[in-house]
């Protein structure tokens, strides 16, 4: 069966998909750089995006506001005001040189679903809240999920003192954004207010495409550990210091990076490790690098596997630094356990997919998502939408209109047929 065969009814009315794709392009046009898409947490462009999302939420019949960390929060009341809500969401920050779909697809789709209910005057026996999380990627302040942690009530106040690469504190950046960093506590929600948390997201991998399926049910979100490393040697003259006497921090980092790659490559159990950022000082052609900072991102299908790998990698880095007479400083900047999706939400997503006439397929998420934080305050369910070539965190990221539309129809069905988990 081809992927298009999997669409129900031949010719489709892609009305939700059209709106979603148009808005993806509009939001994707808000960027710090003309050359590529970058919309980092608490920048001017991030604020412009938040204002646009607020306007879409209001147009969809929601009350909308920003909370103190910059999450865009919309609420569509149920049959009567004040009912507990089904929360839908995804993030509106991006990586650098990003695609347009990672985050915005889930957020925009959720808003379109609410707009559809509103157009039909449909109220449900529960409220719907849509949250555009302000920081999922963690590019600017090294720690990730700051938006969803604020909503889950697990925001660590000490993060307010962390600094971006330009030296600005998170506290100052929040104030410059027009918000009050002393009110982040007020963004926290309680388990009693939330019936569940549902997120639709692009798959960011090739599995659905390989199986010719437009959507899938997520089973779990893989945990991750992120570390920052600093190697310190001795800067010196590139022409005068003999090779044997050098303490070159950059060649030490190069050896460390290759060791990490080799360790993960030969693991064969799904371990992945990435060094995505490196900075060498003083950074001149004719000076031996005296200090190098780099980051590591380590993920594995299970938490014990990832923890063992991190311990082994740290040991290898210590050995390399020792052999080269370099000082090594390591910091864990982010650690998240693997988060299982709730079986009762998986069942309801599967029912909606089947009702669309599509095969039900389950797959895990190797990428991180806001559900990793939301699990502390609600059960989590996720729907994946196929993306072209499995490409993500790259400007070529792409979702076909028909798939965006299918994702929206599935999400709308889940919402309209949603049954809260019976109290146990």
Query: Which stretches of the chain bind ligand GLV, using CB under 6 A?
Result: 137, 367-368
The answer to the question of residue 102 lying near Mn ion (CB under 5 A) is yes
Q: Which is nearer to ligand GLV, 43 or 144 (CB)?
A: 144
- Minimum distance from CB of 286 to Mn ion (Å)? 38
Nearer to ligand GLV, 201 or 413 (CB): 201
CB of 368 to ligand GLV, least distance (A): 3
Instruction: CB nearer to Mn ion: give 232 or 392.
Output: 392
Residue whose CB is less far from ligand GLV, 86 or 224: 224
Q: How far is the CB of 102 from ligand GLV (least distance, A)?
A: 6
365 contacts 382 by C-beta, under 8 angstroms: yes
Q: Could you tell which of Mn ion, ligand GLV, none binds residue 368, using a CB distance below 5 to 8 A set by kind?
A: ligand GLV
Instruction: Report, in Å, the least distance between residue 329 CB and ligand GLV.
Output: 23
Nearer to ligand GLV by Cβ, of 135 and 248: the residue is: 135
Task: Tell the smallest beta-carbon distance from residue 393 to ligand GLV (Å).
Answer: 7
| CB of 173 or CB of 367, closer to ligand GLV | 367
Q: Interface with Mn ion by CB under 5 A: which range of 101-109, 239-247, 253-261, 332-340?
A: 101-109
Q: How far is the CB of 201 from Mn ion (least distance, A)?
A: 6
State which residue has the least CB distance to Mn ion: 102
Q: Tell me if 103 contacts Mn ion by CB under 5 A.
A: yes
- Please give the residue ranges that form the binding site for Mn ion (CB under 5 A): 102-103
């Amino acid at each position: 069966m081809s992927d298009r065969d999997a669409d129900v009814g031949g010719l489709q009315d892609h009305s939700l998909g059209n709106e979603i794709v148009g808005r993806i392009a509009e939001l994707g046009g808000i960027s710090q750089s003309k050359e590529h898409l970058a919309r980092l947490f608490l920048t001017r462009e991030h604020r412009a995006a938040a204002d646009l999302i607020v306007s879409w939420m209001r147009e969809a019949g929601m009350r909308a506001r920003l909370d103190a960390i910059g999450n865009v929060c919309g609420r569509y009341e149920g049959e009567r005001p004040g009912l507990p809500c089904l929360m839908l969401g995804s993030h509106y920050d991006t990586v650098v040189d990003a695609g347009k779909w990672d985050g915005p697809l889930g957020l925009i789709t959720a808003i379109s679903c609410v707009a559809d209910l509103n157009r039909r005057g449909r109220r449900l026996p529960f409220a719907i809240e849509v949250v555009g999380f302000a920081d999922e990627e963690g590019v600017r302040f090294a720690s990730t999920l700051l938006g969803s942690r604020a909503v889950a009530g697990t925001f660590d106040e000490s993060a307010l003192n962390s600094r971006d690469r330009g030296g600005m504190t998170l506290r100052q950046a929040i104030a410059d954004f027009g918000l009050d960093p002393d009110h982040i506590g007020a963004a926290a929600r309680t388990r009693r207010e939330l019936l569940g948390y549902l997120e639709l997201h692009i798959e960011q991998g090739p599995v659905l495409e390989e199986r010719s399926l437009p959507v899938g049910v997520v089973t779990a979100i893989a945990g991750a550990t992120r570390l920052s490393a600093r190697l310190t040697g001795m800067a010196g003259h590139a022409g005068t210091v003999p090779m044997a006497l050098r303490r070159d921090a950059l060649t030490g980092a190069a050896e460390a990076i290759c060791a990490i790659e080799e360790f993960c490559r030969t693991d064969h159990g799904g371990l992945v490790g990435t060094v995505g950022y490196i900075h060498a000082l003083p950074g001149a052609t004719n000076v031996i690098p005296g200090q190098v900072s780099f980051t590591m991102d380590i993920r594995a299908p299970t938490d014990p596997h990832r923890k063992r790998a991190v311990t082994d990698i740290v040991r290898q880095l210590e050995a390399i630094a020792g052999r080269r007479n370099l000082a090594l400083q390591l910091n864990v900047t982010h650690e998240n356990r693997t988060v299982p999706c709730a079986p009762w939400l998986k069942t309801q997503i599967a029912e909606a997919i089947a009702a669309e006439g599509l095969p039900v397929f389950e797959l895990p998420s190797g990428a991180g998502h806001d559900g990793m934080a939301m699990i502390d305050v609600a059960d989590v369910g996720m729907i994946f939408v196929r993306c072209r070539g499995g490409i993500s965190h790259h400007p070529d990221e792409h979702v076909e209109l028909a798939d965006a539309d299918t994702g929206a129809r599935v999400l709308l069905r889940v919402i309209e047929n949603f049954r809260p988990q019976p109290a146990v």
